[in-house]
């Protein structure tokens, strides 16, 4: 339904933009971009997994709209978010004669979005940028909020910028080809939004498990719109992560980051680690914030119903605790967690006892 697809406004003063959510709307990309900026030269950055499908579709729409289109393809995978790949893109763009009037489009998952956004933010001191996220995680999380960047060896997302797009176009139809694990990993972040901010949405998810597992377009549109709205609310209140408001999005993430680092990067997908991390966070919430056991059980049951594992892998708990103390979000080694006191409401809790943290991992 091109045209009347629902949209989410992200209100950030002069950097405001909207997120259009639909099914089959990728075909209308040229119009979507033309409504937001003058397009004479478009650079589509994508990875090799979606190059011949969605990037090609995007490029075709843009050239039909009259733009000169260059397609730049990077390898798929987290290691692509590197200075080397960014430099390669800068140089190719220079060779292609890309100037300040060009627009950069990211067509891909969070890796492509973060990398292309970083290149857009830095090339010629900043180019117009449009996101076309193609993973569920990118559609509900990474394409919203303007954080772009690359990794340094051993330091994820260490170099980057806040660079808001002119718009985000979400087409649920692209999710039909997403590998099962990637799809479910995205669902973990969806469940997270319910737990941290919206009990009613959490109940909606519980009531639509079969549709979610079947990737039903209508339910996906509703879910993506709600998640983007919730993230936009958080970002609007704390665009540059200065007031701590954005921290609620890290529910389950202190555990997840420790799991990802200790299990060896690549063993667990981020969303898979988040699912397990949320279970730890819920148990810790039960101890520290009196989260009712029934809510702990509801969260776990929903994650399981969506095909996510909630079991802690056999990793040395001491190593996990040490990794948490090294987390960049931990201030001066004091353990600080986003914890829930009921489904739909979380707060920051300082100085959590490491013994409670260890117990929560059992």
Ligand X SMILES: NC(=O)c1ccc[n+]([C@@H]2O[C@H](COP(=O)([O-])OP(=O)(O)OC[C@H]3O[C@@H](n4cnc5c(N)ncnc54)[C@H](O)[C@@H]3O)[C@@H](O)[C@H]2O)c1
CB atoms within 10 A of CB 326: 11
Examine residue 194 and tell whether it contacts ligand X (CB under 6 A): no
Answer yes or no: are the C-beta atoms of 252 and 277 closer than 8 Å: yes
Contact range with ligand X by CB under 6 A, out of 172-180, 258-266, 277-285, 302-310:
172-180
Task: Give the shortest CB-271-to-ligand X separation in angstroms.
Answer: 7
Examine residue 110 and tell whether it contacts ligand X (CB under 6 A): yes
Give me the catalytic one of 246, 283, 298, 336: 246
Binding to ligand X by CB under 6 A, coded x per residue (else -) over 32-51, reads ---------------x-xx-
Strands 167-171 and 17-22: parallel
Per CB under 6 A, which of residues 149..168 are in contact with ligand X? 157
Answer yes or no: are the C-beta atoms of 160 and 172 closer than 8 Å: no
17, 21, 23, 24 alpha-carbon torsion, rounded to 10°: 0
For residue 336, the SS3 value is coil
Q: Which of 95, 52, 97 is nearest to 76 (CA)?
A: 52
CB atoms within 10 A of CB 353: 12
Give me the catalytic one of 81, 184, 270, 298: 270
Give me the catalytic one of 189, 239, 260, 272: 189
Strands 155-162 and 147-152: antiparallel
Q: Which is nearer to ligand X, 40 or 267 (CB)?
A: 267
Examine residue 78 and tell whether it contacts ligand X (CB under 6 A): yes
Task: Give the shortest CB-10-to-ligand X separation in angstroms.
Answer: 13
Q: What residues act catalytically?
A: 125, 147, 189, 231, 241, 246, 250, 253, 257, 270
**Residues in contact with ligand X by the rule CB under 6 A:** 47, 49-50, 76-78, 81, 108-112, 114, 134-135, 137-138, 141-142, 145, 147, 157, 174, 177-178, 182
């Amino acid at each position: 339904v091109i045209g009347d697809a629902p949209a989410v406004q992200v209100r950030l003063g002069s950097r405001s933009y909207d997120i259009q959510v639909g099914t089959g709307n990728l075909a209308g990309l040229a119009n979507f971009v033309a409504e937001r900026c003058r397009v004479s030269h478009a650079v589509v950055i994508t990875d090799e997994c979606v190059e011949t499908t969605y990037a090609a579709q995007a490029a075709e729409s843009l050239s039909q709209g009259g733009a000169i289109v260059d397609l730049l393809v990077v390898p798929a995978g987290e290691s692509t978010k590197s200075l080397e790949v960014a430099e390669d893109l800068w140089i190719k763009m220079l060779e292609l004669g890309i100037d300040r009037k060009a627009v950069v489009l990211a067509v891909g998952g969070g890796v492509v979005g973060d990398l292309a956004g970083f290149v857009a933010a830095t090339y010629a001191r900043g180019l117009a940028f449009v996101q076309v996220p193609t993973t569920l995680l990118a559609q509900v999380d990474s394409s919203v909020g303007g954080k772009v960047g690359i990794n340094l060896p051993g330091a994820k997302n260490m170099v980057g910028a806040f660079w808001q797009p002119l718009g985000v176009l979400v087409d649920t139809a692209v999710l039909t080809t997403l590998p099962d694990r990637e799809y479910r990993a995205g669902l973990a972040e969806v469940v997270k939004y319910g737990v941290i901010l919206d009990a009613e949405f959490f109940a909606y998810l519980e009531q639509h498990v079969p549709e979610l597992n079947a990737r039903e377009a209508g339910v996906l549109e509703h879910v993506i719109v709600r998640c983007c709205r919730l993230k936009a609310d958080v970002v609007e209140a704390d665009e540059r992560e200065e007031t701590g408001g954005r921290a609620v999005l890290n529910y389950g993430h202190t555990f997840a980051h420790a799991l990802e680092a200790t299990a060896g990067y690549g063993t667990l997908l981020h969303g898979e680690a988040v699912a397990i991390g949320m279970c730890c966070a819920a148990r810790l919430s039960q101890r520290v914030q009196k989260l009712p056991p029934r809510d702990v059980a509801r969260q776990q049951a929903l994650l399981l119903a969506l095909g996510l594992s909630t079991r802690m892998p056999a990793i040395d708990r001491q190593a996990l605790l040490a990794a948490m103390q090294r987390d960049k979000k931990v201030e001066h080694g004091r353990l600080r967690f986003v914890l829930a006191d009921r489904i739909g409401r979380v707060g920051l809790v300082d100085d959590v006892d490491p013994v409670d943290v260890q117990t929560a991992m059992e």
